[in-house]
Structure 1
Amino acid sequence: MLVRHPQRLPLLGLGMVALLAGLLAGLLRLGWDLPVPWAGFSTLHGPLMVSGFLGTLISLERAVALGRLWGYAAPLLSGLGGLALIVGLPVVVAQGLLASGSIGLGAIFLAILQRHRALYTVTMAVGSGLWILGNLLWAAGWPLFQVVFWWAAFLLVTIAGERLELARLQQLTGGAQPSFLVLLGLLFTGLLLMEWSFAWGARLFGVGLLGLSWWLSRHDIARRTVKQSGVTRFIAVCLLTGYGWLGVSGLLALWVGGVPVGPQYDAILHSFFLGFVFAMIFAHAPIIFPAVLGAGMEYRPLFYAHVALLQVTLVMRVVGDVTG
């Protein structure tokens, strides 16, 4: 495979290293007997997966879209932050790097807004702001079980903005954009309410998740493209299944409320991060990786294998969590 932009590989590599380390930390949390880099490493599963991996990947994608050299500072900083967590540097060092990387992503979106201001660009810029706030709250000493909702909002709002950009290709009804804003408002209100009542804030956050699941399923062009074939249909299948898991996560949060630990907490988070976010990764990988690396990616029907494996194993996990 010919890579036309090999200079971007190290930045992508930093994200992939964080992904692998995050998976190791996740397996350790599940009780697997594996070598531990250092004591307490398993507690960094969330920061590595969200900020170290996904934050770096999103920042790299947006830096490429911006086309300015300074934009690559964002994925570099977040990637180095993930690396700092892996090698066991003081957590405050990693937190500073990750916060700086998220601020860099915010700067990228400010530059994008200067070029083109629309609902979808503003939405993605707000998403970067949520990542900044989440990282700063973590650095300020907030517990991860609360910070993770800010990180989840960052990913959801960013993804929703990207899909909104494509949804403009359709004829949206007059109430589509106002309803989108109302649902974002519910999501943000839930985040703020968690400071006073974690249980009810999480429930309101769940209403926002459930509503955005409906909105995205209703207005995304995937509803049309799923009827096509090849990679176009594959992308649509991933998107629609992801929206389904987003709704599951919302229903669970609405039912359970805010819980800091335990199987119900696990079900809420992994319905979102595995069911929704990873479905979005699978859907966008055939588009993003060629754009970032300048390398072609040939679609094969075998792509459905890892999607099916994710669905089966996640159903088993969530059912096990819920039924105890």
Structure 2
Amino acid sequence: MKNLVFIILPLALLTAVLGILAGLFRIGWNGPLAVSHLAMYHGIFMTGGFLGTLISLERVVAFKKKIAWAAPLLMGLSLPTFLLGEPSAALILLLTGALGYLLISISIYLNHNHKGNLFLVIGALFQLLALGVFYWLYSYPMAMAAWFLSFLFTIIGERLHLSSFLPVSRRQFWILYIAAGVAVVGTALYHFFSALPASLGFAAVALWLLKNDLIKVVYPKRGFYKYLGVSLTAGYVWLLLFALLSALPSKSPWHYDAVVHSFFAGFILNMILAHGPIIFPAILGVQGKPFHNAMYVALVLLNLSNLCRIMADMYQIPVVRKWSGLFSGLAFLGFVLVMAVLMLRLRFNFRVQKTLVS
């Protein structure tokens, strides 16, 4: 069944490419008419088709039951279904895959009672909720709150797993639980009360991660671990900025764009750049952590271009928003290309070593 990786992962990455192209159309770039109609699916491509498929694939690789592979496969197959002009069927595939991922996450938590697994279950639940809201209402703004919570809890869960060796006190964990709870309750009250409670919750989580994650451990190191510390720090700073932007009273489309992209292009993409050398070898069964200093180019370009986009949104400068969006997309695609080359080199070196030993 692991051969399905070579079907599912390309589908996820192709969805990301088309999602980026759709986003570029939305901010004013021209493209082929055959593809430009996908602009309306930019958000669902990135949140469901790409991130949803990638996250569920990562979990399934370590799961023993073969039926679990259906979850990321269904989510990945949403892309050709969208391209065939069947958005309702594509959304049902995403919903079914998300339900499967939730059941897998619950099963893993019941068998391995780890704090990180609990956060991953909650993240999976909010992913299913977000897709359900989008399916019924076809509204990004109405579904976006659940997506924020889904990926927040997923990142927390992943970080708790990867930094479980750190000495974090019970008191600090309770602070994290309270901060995450405030984010959930505040988000639920957003349309009825104020954005401030949710913003305080997200900000508290960002500050907790900056204090308790392994950033201070990896900064003195070199190579991949230094890069990991820089990219994690950038992601958590973006999460803090997202919280601050969310607290502003403005309801303009420009402000909405700044809030959404401070979270996804800032926080989430930095997390992907940080975890890429960990996730992709685990998915593909390749030993080692691929790293090259060229990855810093993508990291710097992503953060500078996204900062320009946020400033362009705040001051309503369309041309800067247009170009910054292009460079953010190029930064992510450049990172994927570098990762692909490094992964091929790792696999080739492993095969050569295996041949010499045998």
TM-score of the aligned structures, taking structure 2 as reference length: 0.84
Distance 1:39 1:281, change over 3 A: closer
Equivalent position of 2:134 in the other structure: 138
> Is the aligned partner of 1:266 residue 2:253?
no
Q: Deviations over 1:119-142 (max 9, x none)?
A: 211111011000011111111215
Answer whether contact 2:22 2:36 (CA < 8 A) is retained. no
Equivalent position of 1:186 in the other structure: 182
Aligned length, in residue pairs? 314
Distance in 2, Cα, partners of 1:68 & 1:305: 39
* Equivalent position SS for 1:175: helix
- Of 232, 252, 268, which residue of structure 1 is paired with 2:245? 252
Distance in 1, Cα, partners of 2:249 & 2:200: 12
CA root-mean-square deviation: 1.7
State the AA in 2 paired with 1:294.
Answer: G
State the AA in 2 paired with 1:101.
Answer: G
1:111: Cα distance to partner? 1.5
- Mean CA deviation greater in 223-232 or 50-59: 223-232
> Is the aligned partner of 1:44 residue 2:37?
no
Answer whether contact 1:209 1:247 (CA < 8 A) is retained. yes
State the AA in 2 paired with 1:206.
Answer: S
Answer whether contact 1:238 1:282 (CA < 8 A) is retained. yes
1:67: Cα distance to partner? 3.0
Equivalent position of 1:70 in the other structure: 67
- Of 200, 208, 213, which residue of structure 2 is paired with 1:207? 200
- Of 171, 184, 189, which residue of structure 1 is paired with 2:167? 171
Distance in 1, Cα, partners of 2:248 & 2:171: 28
* Equivalent position SS for 1:229: coil
1:82: Cα distance to partner? 3.0
Q: Deviations over 1:175-197 (max 9, x none)?
A: 21111111111111123213535
Distance in 1, Cα, partners of 2:6 & 2:249: 42
Equivalent position of 1:31 in the other structure: 28
* Equivalent position SS for 1:66: coil
1:117: Cα distance to partner? 1.1
Q: Deviations over 1:122-168 (max 9, x none)?
A: 11101100001111111121521120121121111001111122333
Q: Deviations over 1:246-280 (max 9, x none)?
A: 100100001236x3x52111111111101110111
1:115: Cα distance to partner? 1.4
Answer whether contact 1:213 1:247 (CA < 8 A) is retained. yes
Equivalent position of 1:312 in the other structure: 304
Distance in 1, Cα, partners of 2:49 & 2:34: 17
Distance in 2, Cα, partners of 1:147 & 1:67: 32
Q: Percent identity?
A: 31
Distance 1:21 1:172, change over 3 A: same
Max Rg structure: 2
Distance in 2, Cα, partners of 1:285 & 1:317: 24
> Is the aligned partner of 1:290 residue 2:286?
no
Distance in 1, Cα, partners of 2:50 & 2:277: 18
Equivalent position of 2:89 in the other structure: 93
* Equivalent position SS for 1:196: coil
1:220: Cα distance to partner? 0.2
1:83: Cα distance to partner? 2.8
State the AA in 2 paired with 1:205.
Answer: A
- Mean CA deviation greater in 210-219 or 32-41: 32-41
Distance 1:92 1:298, change over 3 A: closer
Gaps of 5+ in 1: none
TM-score of the aligned structures, taking structure 1 as reference length: 0.92
> Is the aligned partner of 1:126 residue 2:122?
yes
Answer whether contact 1:253 1:268 (CA < 8 A) is retained. yes
1:106: Cα distance to partner? 0.5
